Amino acid sequence: MDPVNVIVSALIVGAGETTKEIVKDTYVALKSLIGKLLHRKKDAPDPVATAEADPAARDKVTEAVKKSGIAADQATVDAAVELLKAADAARPGIEGGVVGQINANGGKVLIVTTNLGTINM
């Protein structure tokens, strides 16, 4: 499960009318983290505003998440996972099976970066 898909799914679930009350606290936490990240990136698109404008526009939300760079922040990915788990606990399957994929991978989504340096021993 890639971090972009996890964040996109969480934003869509959090912005959706049928789940707003279920994930209210975790959605506020996710929005706060994203807001702090975007504050540092003045020209980055706002994926939260994109999701809230049209939760059905997954492609637009995905593009905003990719362009903003928020999927590189582990705390944001962790908050998205928590939101999806809360939604799934209240209404199993409402998040489209993403929690099942996360759980199959050990329950976490980790950001992996490449080390291009040389290790001398």
Residue spans of the domains in the chain: they are 3-104
Work out the average pLDDT over 1-28: 86
pTM of the model: 0.80
Strand runs (DSSP E) across 10-96, as ranges? Answer: none
> 81 is written with which tokens?
């996972």
Confidence band (pLDDT; 50, 70, 90) for 89?
confident
The residue behind tokens 């499960």 is 1
State yes or no: pLDDT of 113 exceeds 60: no
Element (H, E) at 51: helix 47-53
Q: What is the DSSP letter of 71?
A: G
Work out the average pLDDT over 46-53: 94
Confidence band (pLDDT; 50, 70, 90) for 52?
very high
pLDDT, residue 75, reads: 92
